[in-house]
Structure 1
Amino acid sequence: MFTGVQVYAGSPSQSQENSGLTTTEIDRLVERTMEIFQVPGMAVGIIKDGKVIHAKGYGVREVGKKGKVDEETLFSIASTGKSFTAAALALLVDEGRIKWDDKVIDYIPAFQMHDPWVTREFTVKDLLIHNSGLGLGAGDLMFWPTSSFSRDEIIRNLRHLKPVSSFRTEYAYDNLLYIVAGEVIAAVSGMSYEDFVDRRILKPLGMKHCAANRSRLKGHRNIAEPHVLLDGKLQTTFRLEEVYEHSITAAAGGIQCSIKSILKWHHMHLEKGKLPGGEVFLSKAEQARILTPQTITPVSTNKQGWFGTNFSAYGLGWFLEDMYGVKVAKHSGGLQGMTSLNVMVPDLDLGVVVYTNQQAGYDKHAIVYSILEAYLADTKLDWVSKLHEQQKIRVVDAAKTVPDLEAAPYTPDGDLGRYAGVYKDPWFGDVDIRETGEGLTFTSVRSVRLKGSMAPYKPGIFIVRWEDRSLNADAYVRFTTGYDGNPEGFTMKAISKLTDFSFDFHDLDFKRLQPTANNLKKLEKY
């Protein structure tokens, strides 16, 4: 571990810049990382001074099969794709068709936040900078882990999400407002978000191995499959949608891309908006705005110690911070079974990309930190071991908070049948709780993967265990009762600290419905 200015030796402020890792060193670093973190496939790309100096695939697209990952293999790049949404809006600003301070309701009249004043004041820029007042990942259950809501439904349901802070006062990462931003692009341009990105961004930049409109990927074979570790065994897992299907979350994280193509994206940004031939793709002013801090974010203690980090912020589709004394723009992304990390160091004209097909956690950071350190510092830490140990500590710490129901079983008083019924949340919809011979079951009507058994935990509290164990998202269900002692509704909360924040169970507030014929008929098919 190192702190303060001691880590800055070799930074761009010095007379001589470090040369980075050799190809052989990168190969060894990646192979070791994949082995330790149990990652089946990975792609790593580096662009420096306008030239691609490394673009290579490692491992396989799917465990147990022969297909190799290469520089053209498509990965689900998840939230790293938010930078495309920001750039798409910037293109429209350059053309004078929209302003950052325009009100969202002027383009999407159905847009409505919980507070009417916030609705009126909400601007296009506000959609991108994570200070809306909503909580972390609020409403993500409308697309995660099953994408069954339409974009129109998501926009209509925003009004039901209650804020946890005042508008524009605190940072809290969100996805839904990027979906709204995509619909603003569609309203202004007259074409879908996906078609706008394909035609106005991917095509001019020559990003042939990248797709926002995923329908053209049907039949494409060079695509990485998502994987998870379940009980220590590597296995493939589900996608939100099939890779060639329409993605509800395209503007928030539904793009498919390869490192060969994404390095062209980095090149444009590092050249301050210019294409390789010198043509202006994005004005220098708007490209600079994208990488300008908009919302302050916390600086972690680890980064203060590791890199001497002094500031952290969110720009437009990019996180911004200082590492080793220089400004860094970055964004990570994660979907079920896949992760990604894009990093740019403008002062070094350096871009680094890592895509993986396993949601291992710190694997991609171990590679990126090693590469950045080789350019920016005179130290040479073993980031693979360091971050693997960090990950193990997180797992152990999270396990301590998970109740052991077998060691301390609880037997509820009274008839379990009194909990059975149909319960409704205003934005998530209906849940059917039924009594079977083995106890209670939980079935979501709109999110088909949220189906499982309910184990008694404490008076009025159950733990729902999802049938799909790869979710890693078991949750508490806490019933509220009326004066007659019968359940009137329930709230939920994720159990493990490792559960993805998009399982925003804590934002749900279910009320029991009367067992009418219509309600029962609606649930018959589930």
Structure 2
Amino acid sequence: MQRTLLGLALLACIPAAFATPAPGDDIDRLVDQAMARYDLPGMAVGVIQDGRVVHIATRGQLAVDAPDTVDADTLFKIASNTKAMTAAVLARLVQAGKLRWDDPVIKHLPQFAMHDPWVTQNMQVRDLLIHNSGLGLGAGDLMLWPEPNQFDRADIIAGLAHLKPVTSFRAGYAYDNLLYVVAGEVAAAAAGKPFNQLLRQEVFAPLGMDGCQAGDWSPTQVGNVAQPHYRTARGNVLGRVDGEWEADFPSMAAGGVRCSVNDMLRWSQALLDAGNAPGWLDARQRRALWTAHMPMPISQRLRDWDNTHFLAYGYGWRLSDMDGQWKVAHTGTLSGMYSSLALLPDRRNGAVILINGEGEAARTTLMQALLKRWTAPAAGLDVNHYADRLDAERGAQVAAGRVRPDTSAARPVPPAQVAAQGLYRDPWFGQVSLCPAGDTLQWAAARSPRMLATVKQLGGRLLLDWHHLGEDADAWLQLDGQGGAATMQLSAIDPDIDFSYDYPDLRFERVADCPSVR
């Protein structure tokens, strides 16, 4: 479905300094470029100009080889774009006097503990949202995914005490997810209601986001739900398909919401113009969400593409300048789905992209092309232009040797060649087994069933070849010591591995022999 909702009369009202061409065909051209360049299974795109929805473009299917097509009400995983909604829930509670941004976390969650007792005592509610904890990038994320697993919110909170910091508290920025889970539990404790209920009460209902789903819900009853896909040599293949019932997602506050492009456009309009949601958030709390609370490093790409001089994290948002204009944005990545939302608040413009496939490059290039229509219209830069630049970056990485080494020659290692077999335990991740399975050696996580791998050997090194994860997640396996003193560590094979495969924070110690096979 494609809609153009802006007429010539509205264009005449746009200030001359911000005037841009009517969107329709131009946006469709960019969307079609992204679909073709990256062979996406499905996508929904919405564009806001001068505070009004001016175009919606949808393409593809809910699932490959299925007849149902994506439309403006199709639900997608928005992943980390949930974080801004979590921040909004907290802002509503601050506005209602139920908590303060500078409240100690332990005031609301006495069981909360970080590795350092001083940090435990001094971490405030605001700190949960701005990635300044001192933990490493993505620390503890293996308690969140791959999904499904057997970690609940209590496990996640308890696990924080075992994650060692890599910098001082509040010394710098490192993206995390676990503390957003804590933020959701702080909100629930302060309000006396489950977090999924708070999301509906404080965000979905007052803003008319009627399609959004969180907590326990039935995809079968709701219908029109996009399914995740992964890219293989055979093309797009389905990932984990929704069941009849989706249980409450433990990391919901960090990335567990599903919404349609229509819902996300309503969300964007409420943020761009307080008049679209009278009384929902006062001016003070709106400023708090989009205040620069934590400086972020500026990548060379941002400097080259957008002439960026400023980058910081607000409450659930990334704040920056793009070609001299204020930009507020975030992305989301989760289990075969990608999202992107970007706003230019001073112009009341913005765009939303939802993809149900491997869409990292697609969302980057398409959002860039959409925003450049406003920030640098004379340049006429499109998706293919930015895709070519990404390809050039990749070529430079290859030339520099920063690529995944070829492991195709790896072969299963005979169990007899590995003496340090047994059961191992990590303080926060729990137990794993390194035990024979027929004529192979397998690595299996007790609480994360998708983390099952065959142990292989390549050039004198051991590696884990995952059964249910992409090869990008494969890991080197290092065993040290013998008997009860044996230890195990994992490290990434691919230098560009998703940071949520948090191998560096795992420290396994051998605790028992493998179970006897009878």
TM-score (norm 1): 0.89
Could you list the per-position Cα deviations for residues 25-77 of structure 1 after superposition, in whole angstroms to 9, with x for gaps in the alignment?
A: 11121112111101011001112223211123211111111111111110000
Give 1:311 shift.
0.8
The answer to whether the Cα contact below 8 Å between 2:368 and 2:386 also exists between their aligned partners in 1 is: no
Partner of 2:125: 124
Give 1:342 shift.
0.5
Single out whichever of 445-454 and 48-57 deviates more from structure 2: 48-57
The number of residue pairs the alignment matches comes to 500
Other structure's SS at 1:101 match: coil
Could you list the per-position Cα deviations for residues 206-240 of structure 1 after superposition, in whole angstroms to 9, with x for gaps in the alignment?
A: 11111223425442221111111012521110269
Cα distance in 1 for partners of 2:250, 2:155 equals 11
Partner of 2:495: 497
Could you list the per-position Cα deviations for residues 271-311 of structure 1 after superposition, in whole angstroms to 9, with x for gaps in the alignment?
A: 1x4435xx211011111110010111111112112211001
Partner of 2:55: 54
Could you list the per-position Cα deviations for residues 159-184 of structure 1 after superposition, in whole angstroms to 9, with x for gaps in the alignment?
A: 00010110000100000100000001
Alignment of 1:335-414 (within 5 A): 335-377=334-376, 378-388=378-388, 390-391=390-391, 393-394=393-394, 397=397, 401-405=403-407
2:156 to 138, 154, 157: 154
Change in 2 beyond 3 A, CA 1:401/1:57: closer
Partner of 2:257: 255
Other structure's SS at 1:215 match: coil
Other structure's SS at 1:91 match: helix
Partner of 2:317: 318
Cα distance in 2 for partners of 1:56, 1:119 equals 47
Partner of 2:291: 292
Partner of 2:470: 470
Other structure's SS at 1:138 match: coil
Does 2:188 align with 1:189? no
Change in 2 beyond 3 A, CA 1:261/1:168: same
Amino acid at match of 1:383: V
The answer to whether the Cα contact below 8 Å between 2:184 and 2:253 also exists between their aligned partners in 1 is: yes
Other structure's SS at 2:379 match: coil
5+ unaligned residues in a row in structure 2: which ranges? Answer: 1-14
Give 1:367 shift.
1.7
Cα distance in 1 for partners of 2:150, 2:283 equals 39
Other structure's SS at 1:210 match: coil
Other structure's SS at 2:477 match: strand
Cα distance in 2 for partners of 1:437, 1:109 equals 47
Change in 2 beyond 3 A, CA 1:18/1:427: same
Single out whichever of 465-474 and 65-74 deviates more from structure 2: 465-474
Could you list the per-position Cα deviations for residues 252-281 of structure 1 after superposition, in whole angstroms to 9, with x for gaps in the alignment?
A: 01001011111111111111x4435xx211
Cα distance in 1 for partners of 2:23, 2:208 equals 27
Give 1:121 shift.
0.2
Give 1:380 shift.
1.2
Single out whichever of 443-452 and 382-391 deviates more from structure 2: 382-391
Amino acid at match of 1:501: F
Other structure's SS at 1:472 match: helix
The answer to whether the Cα contact below 8 Å between 2:46 and 2:55 also exists between their aligned partners in 1 is: yes
Give 1:135 shift.
0.5
- Same amino acid, percent of matched pairs: 37
The answer to whether the Cα contact below 8 Å between 1:133 and 1:172 also exists between their aligned partners in 2 is: yes
Could you list the per-position Cα deviations for residues 192-216 of structure 1 after superposition, in whole angstroms to 9, with x for gaps in the alignment?
A: 1100111221111111111223425
Single out whichever of 205-214 and 283-292 deviates more from structure 2: 205-214
Change in 2 beyond 3 A, CA 1:405/1:306: closer
Cα distance in 1 for partners of 2:294, 2:241 equals 31
Partner of 2:505: 507
Alignment of 1:416-427 (within 5 A): 416-427=417-428
Other structure's SS at 1:203 match: helix
Does 2:232 align with 1:230? yes
Change in 2 beyond 3 A, CA 1:372/1:405: closer
Other structure's SS at 1:30 match: helix
Give 1:79 shift.
0.1
Cα distance in 2 for partners of 1:474, 1:408 equals 12
Other structure's SS at 1:61 match: coil
Cα distance in 2 for partners of 1:488, 1:234 equals 41
Partner of 2:3: none
Cα distance in 2 for partners of 1:184, 1:471 equals 37
Cα distance in 1 for partners of 2:171, 2:153 equals 27
Single out whichever of 329-338 and 299-308 deviates more from structure 2: 299-308
Amino acid at match of 1:507: D
Amino acid at match of 1:188: A
Change in 2 beyond 3 A, CA 1:109/1:368: same
Cα distance in 2 for partners of 1:466, 1:216 equals 30
Amino acid at match of 1:462: L
Partner of 1:275: 276
5+ unaligned residues in a row in structure 1: which ranges? Answer: 1-13
Cα distance in 1 for partners of 2:409, 2:395 equals 20
The answer to whether the Cα contact below 8 Å between 1:489 and 1:511 also exists between their aligned partners in 2 is: yes
The answer to whether the Cα contact below 8 Å between 1:218 and 1:244 also exists between their aligned partners in 2 is: no
Cα distance in 2 for partners of 1:122, 1:81 equals 22
TM-score (norm 2): 0.91
Other structure's SS at 2:157 match: helix
Give 1:381 shift.
1.7
Cα distance in 2 for partners of 1:145, 1:211 equals 20
Partner of 1:112: 113
Could you list the per-position Cα deviations for residues 90-121 of structure 1 after superposition, in whole angstroms to 9, with x for gaps in the alignment?
A: 00111111110000011101100000000000
The answer to whether the Cα contact below 8 Å between 1:410 and 1:458 also exists between their aligned partners in 2 is: no
Amino acid at match of 1:514: A
Alignment of 1:428-439 (within 5 A): 428-436=429-437, 438-439=439-440
Cα distance in 1 for partners of 2:428, 2:19 equals 53
Amino acid at match of 1:465: D
Partner of 2:308: 309
Cα distance in 1 for partners of 2:480, 2:56 equals 56
Change in 2 beyond 3 A, CA 1:389/1:301: closer
Amino acid at match of 2:356: N
Cα distance in 2 for partners of 1:336, 1:408 equals 26
Cα distance in 2 for partners of 1:471, 1:238 equals 16
Single out whichever of 15-24 and 418-427 deviates more from structure 2: 15-24
Other structure's SS at 1:454 match: strand
Single out whichever of 67-76 and 226-235 deviates more from structure 2: 226-235
Cα distance in 1 for partners of 2:169, 2:242 equals 30
Other structure's SS at 2:284 match: helix
Alignment of 1:30-179 (within 5 A): 30-146=31-147, 147-179=149-181
The answer to whether the Cα contact below 8 Å between 2:450 and 2:469 also exists between their aligned partners in 1 is: no
Change in 2 beyond 3 A, CA 1:227/1:28: same
